[in-house]
Chain A
């Protein structure tokens, strides 16, 4: 059974990997996006080697120093080095964005597979629940949820994951509806394999590719949402070096100490650009209309 299931996934990949990579390669903007992300990855992994400052250590004598050779991006209201806080913040801001979308994708595909596989009342209830979540603009719902749960990073992550789940449920459900009719699923049923096992072993592994694509498209947006909640005071709390939280304090000092909110914002912009460039490239590759 598993050999058959494996064959199902293997054949299309083998045929398409090379042309895909070719198209990916041909698109300079996508490569540029990839470079940006690699840069951030490298910087966040090597953070302690790049800077000798501590991201949270207070040094009041050097508060609000403008950018200089000593402090590349200046210092904040208690003299912490902003450059240091940004590169440590990269771990947090990007890591949280990726984690949120991955968990939303995972939960969404399981729920979607259950919904599509069983159909009937379960399906109705799940899909109507998703409709309700989609009735809210995502930032507004995330904000309300985060405020209700209490303002901290963990709750902000939960709130954003909830907002992101419906898309994955819909994707996985649509795939499952088609997979349910496949011969190998029916064969598994006749062998008396329980439904949860069929869903886990045969449905989800085969329904996963559109979900993976959506995940790559969503990360940029999630990173921005995390930072926006941080900016509104609903995400990571100071003194955590999260980009949104840094800007939420820094923007009040904008007129006199321009560097304080400007550099964390630029890092956020650059990272989000990287994710969106890659997402855009992937969309182009998968959209047959673009090639005409």
Chain B
């Protein structure tokens, strides 16, 4: 166990180093002239040279990389061209909104996906099973931006049940910032109006974002439940008179969940990608919307800062998932 952690951590250092190389390459080497991009097409040669010197672009590439790394270690991703603020500050400001959305989607995917998966496995080859399968394929095939649009059409325009976007109504002051997650903050401060309103805003984007992951969870739970249900210890348990919910949930599901954790953890990257699109459609003020707005301005410091932060987060989550796997499965000990 210890060895595994040490090995994984050393690999992590290497991969993170690689991530910095790639983002450096994308921000400094591929674009013909980052200085020209910053000052625009109409700037004169003198300004261009000045900006180039300021950015250190007149230095050899390896010196540039060194400076870049020094910046990263100090949490300095440069200044956003669009907002004129340090990219790090922007990302810190927008992060909680993305976290709140992604976590809610995650919880929804598990809360709905696991029961459907179990049901599909128990009722294998019946209408329930086929329906579940069709549902999960539809989930993976639906472009997030399209399900978002359909959601807005149905629940906002047609039914008028839910708002079309934003995080909270303009006339309601957002809760005092403790964690930055509106739901938690409003609970902590006992601000019911804000809690109700932000929950109301969260429902549609969170469901839309969870859809693809929900499909994946359903599929994985079904497959591993089928495998577990065919095993001998289940038969033994049945012979001992254990049946129904106890058998399914206490005996079978516990083991079936181990592979599910890996799949769900790995799909977190897809969730982050989906968040970019979902936030854009719903005007959700998170990192995803921030980066899409930056794309329109070809604001490279913010695009690369976002890319770097997401990659680091993704690598860390994957590490965590791997480690949980070792902890949960007592059979992997060597």
Contacts and interface: CB of A to CB of B under 8 A. Distances in A.
Nearest to B25: A148
Contacts of A131: 14-15, 18
Contacts of B315: 135
B145 A265 contact: yes
Contact of B30 (A137, A149, A220, A234): A149
Interface of B: 14-16, 18-19, 21-23, 26-27, 30-31, 130, 133-134, 137-138, 140-146, 149-150, 152-153, 156-157, 164, 223, 227, 230, 269-270, 272-274, 276-277, 280-281, 291-292, 295-296, 298, 300, 303-304, 306-307, 310-311, 314-315
Secondary structure type dominating chain A contacts: helix
Contacts of A184: none
A143 to B, nearest CB: 7
Contacts of B138: 269, 273
Given A147-B298, A148-B27, A140 B276 contact: yes
A261 B304 CA distance: 30
B141 A262 contact: no
25 contacts: A131-B15, A131-B18, A132-B18, A133-B22, A135-B15, A135-B314, A135-B315, A136-B19, A137-B273, A138-B273, A139-B276, A140-B273, A145-B26, A148-B27, A220-B140, A220-B141, A228-B143, A228-B145, A228-B277, A231-B143, A251-B149, A254-B149, A262-B149, A265-B150, A276-B141
A106 interface: no
A138 B269 contact: yes
A266 interface: yes
B18 A128 contact: yes
Nearest to A137: B269
Contacts of A143: 276, 291, 295, 303, 307
Interface string A126-161: 001101110111111101110111010000000000
Nearest to A139: B273
Nearest to B22: A132
Contacts of B291: 143
A262 B18 CA distance: 41
A254 B145 CA distance: 12
B145 A137 contact: no
A79 B310 CA distance: 41
B221 to A, nearest CB: 15
B153 A136 contact: no
| Closest CB pairs A-B (n = 8) | A139-B273, A137-B269, A265-B146, A132-B18, A272-B141, A273-B141, A144-B307, A148-B26
B295 A269 contact: no
A261 B292 contact: no
B236 to A, nearest CB: 19
A106 B227 CA distance: 35
Given A132-B19, A228-B143, A144 B30 contact: no
A17 interface: no
B134 A29 contact: yes
A233 B296 contact: yes
A269 B148 CA distance: 13
A207 interface: no
Given A228-B277, A251-B145, A265-B145, A140 B295 contact: no
A129 B157 CA distance: 48
User: Which range holds the interface residue count of chain A?
Assistant: 35 or more
Given A128-B14, A258-B157, A262-B149, A232 B19 contact: no
A197 interface: no
Nearest to A258: B153
Given A136-B310, A137-B272, A143-B307, 14 more contacts: A29-B137, A128-B18, A135-B15, A144-B304, A147-B303, A220-B140, A228-B144, A233-B295, A234-B295, A251-B145, A251-B149, A254-B149, A255-B156, A261-B149
A280 interface: yes
Contact of A144 (B15, B26, B156, B223): B26
Nearest to A28: B130
A289 B226 CA distance: 10
A15 interface: no
A262 B137 contact: no
B18 A140 contact: no
B87 to A, nearest CB: 14
Contacts of A220: 140-141
A121 interface: no
Contacts of B22: 132-133, 136
B201 to A, nearest CB: 17
A132 B295 contact: no
Contacts of B14: 128, 131
A247 B277 CA distance: 12
B143 A268 contact: yes
A110 interface: no
- Among A149, A220, A258: residue with most chain B CB under 10 A: A258
Nearest to B130: A29
A233 B126 CA distance: 43
Interface in A106-138: 128-129, 131-133, 135-138
